A and B are shown apart, each in its own frame.
Chain A
Amino acid sequence: MTSTYDTVKTALTSHFNIPADTVRADSTLEDLGLDSLAVVELLCVLQDELGMTVPTGHENLKSLQLTLAETVAIIDEAQPSARAAEVLA
C-alpha cells in the first residue's frame, strides 16, 4: 500500500479512534463506522491537518460503500506529485 494509505489509516486511528487492526484496504467506510458527516470530517482532517490535496467535489468520494483502497486511489490521483507525473508523461 502507498504512503497515502498510511496517512489515511493514521487519520482513522488517531482522529476517529478506530482500532488499527480493523482498518484494512478492503474495509468500506461504512464498515469502519463512518457516517456521511464523518466522511466529510475525514476529508477535512486529511487536507487540513495532514496537508493532503483532497478532491472534495469528487462525485464518488463521499460514498460509504467505497473501500479504503478505492478512497486512497481517488486521493492519490489528486496529489500534486501524481498530477506532475501525468504532465511529464
Chain B
Amino acid sequence: MTTRDIAVTGIGLVTPAGTDADSTWRTVCAGTPTAAIDPALGDVPIPLSCRVPPFDAQALIGPQVWRMDRFTHLALIAAHEAVRNAGLDPATWDGARVAVVIGVGYDSKDLVVPAVRKLMDGAYHSLSPLLVPRTTTNAAPAEICIALGAHGPSMAVTTACASGATALGTARDLLLADRCDIALAGGAEAPCHPLPSACFAQMGALSGRLHDPQGASRPFDVDRDGFVLAEGAGVMVLERAADARARGARTRAYFSGYGSSTDGYHYAAPRPDGTGIERAFTAALRDAGLGTADIGHVNAHGTGTPINDRIEGAALARLFDRHPLAVTSTKGVTGHTLGAAGAIEAVLAALTLEHQTVPPTANLDQLDPDIDLDVVAKVPRPHRMEAVASNSCGFGGHNNVVLLRRA
C-alpha cells in the first residue's frame, strides 16, 4: 500500500444481471445473457435491449421518486447499496467532506421526446416545469447529494461510453487532492428508448441478431455484429486507504492507478492503430507503479462491434505481449450500458479480484482469429491475480483505464 492508494470500501450495482452487486456477480459468472426483445422499443428496426429486472423504485428510493428520471433512479439505488456496503451512516458523516461524481453519457429520452411532441403542438402550458432538472445529466449526482446529505464537490462527468470510468478517476483525484474524505463515484444510464435505439441502429452499432436475442451480445466472437443497448448503474465508495483503515472499514480493493487519453481522431470510430488505448494503459500502470506483468486480468471494453473488439484486442495483445492475461467482456451478459459501463465493469473487476475468479464472456463460441488474446469463455475461470484493469472507450476517442490491486 502506498500513500496514494485509494481504498474501495463499498460497491453498488443495478444492472440487467441483477438489482444489487451480489446478484449481478452471480449472473455474470453464470454467463447468462440478458438481451431480449423489448416491446417498449416499439417498431424500431432492432428492438433489442438489456433491461434491469423489475424493482420497486419507491421502496428503494422514497416518495420523491416521482421527480426523477430513470437514470437517476438507477444511480440512487447503486449509491445507497454502495454506502451500506461501506458501513457508512450518512446521518453521522461530515457531509461537507463527501464528494459525488457520476458519469452519464447520453441522459434519458423518456421525458424529452413527449415534451418535444407537446412543443410541436404548441402545448406550452402542459410542459413539465421539472423537465430540465430531471433530465440534465447532473440530476443523478444532485439527487444522491440530497438523499445522502453529501455537501462536498459534486458533478456529472461525460465522456460517452467511458463516463463511468472517468467519474471514478475524477473522484480519485479529488481524494488525492484532499478535496474530500469520502467519494461516491460511478456511472448511470437508462437509454432503452426508441430514439437512441433507432439512432444507434442507423450507425450500424447494434447487433441485428433478432432471431437469437440471447446470443446478440457476443464480444470477441467471430460472428459478433454489434452491441445491445442496456441500462444500469454502478457506484463505488472511495476513501484514502489510511482513512479506511482508521475507521476499520473493509477494503475490497485498492484503486491504485488511473490512465486517460483521447484519440483526437474521429467523432465515433476508435483510432485504428489503438495507440490511444495503449497510452491510457501506460498512464495507469505508471500511476500505479506497476508493469504489465503485474496485471492478471482485464475487463475489456469489448462492446461486440467488429471494429472496437479488433482494435482493443490488438492494443491489449501488443501491450501485454503474451503475459498470462485473462481477458473478459462482461457486456456479453449485461449488454452495453453506455455511460454506466466503465463504473459497472470496474465494480465487476473489483469482484473478480476479490473472488480470484474471471467471469466468462457470454456467447463466445469461437474467438475471432484476428484477436490474439486469452479471452475467458463459457465458464468462470479461477485465476491468481494481484492486480486487474478495466478498460473503457467512448465516442469521441475517450480512453480510460481503472487499475485495481488486491486488498
Contacts and interface: CB of A to CB of B under 8 A. Distances in A.
Interface string A23-66: 00000000001000110110010011000000010000000000
The size class of the interface chain B forms with chain A is 10 to 19
A41 B125 contact: no
Contacts of B126: 44, 47-48
B3 interface: no
A15 B63 CA distance: 10
Contacts of B64: 17
Contacts of B123: 48
A16 B58 CA distance: 10
A33 B63 CA distance: 10
A38 B68 CA distance: 12
Contact of B63 (A17, A40, A41, A56): A17
A44 B66 contact: no
B129 A40 contact: yes
Contacts, number: 31
A18 interface: yes
B66 A37 contact: no
A87 B66 CA distance: 39
A44 B128 contact: yes
Nearest to A15: B66
Chain A CB within 10 A, most for which of B63, B125, B130: B125
A33 B64 CA distance: 10
Contact of A17 (B58, B118, B129): B58
B130 A17 contact: no
A37 B130 contact: yes
A68 to B, nearest CB: 18
A31 to B, nearest CB: 14
B66 A17 contact: yes
B113 interface: no
B127 interface: yes
B201 interface: no
B63 A18 contact: yes
Contact of A44 (B58, B63, B127): B127
Nearest to B124: A56
Contacts of B322: none
Given A17-B58, A17-B63, A18-B63, A56 B130 contact: no
Interface in B111-168: 118, 123, 125-130
B67 interface: yes
A16 B128 CA distance: 14
B218 to A, nearest CB: 41
A70 to B, nearest CB: 21
B65 interface: yes
B66 A16 contact: yes
A40 B133 CA distance: 14
A48 B65 CA distance: 20
B271 to A, nearest CB: 45
Contacts of A17: 58, 63-66
B367 to A, nearest CB: 49
B67 A56 contact: no
B359 to A, nearest CB: 37
Contact of A37 (B63, B118, B127, B129): B129
A89 B337 CA distance: 61
A4 to B, nearest CB: 18
Contacts of B128: 40-41, 44
Nearest to B62: A17
B130 A41 contact: yes
Contacts of A40: 128-129
Contacts of A33: 63
A38 B118 CA distance: 19
Contacts of B58: 17
Interface of B: 58, 63-67, 118, 123, 125-130
Interface of A: 15-18, 33, 37-38, 40-41, 44, 47-48, 56
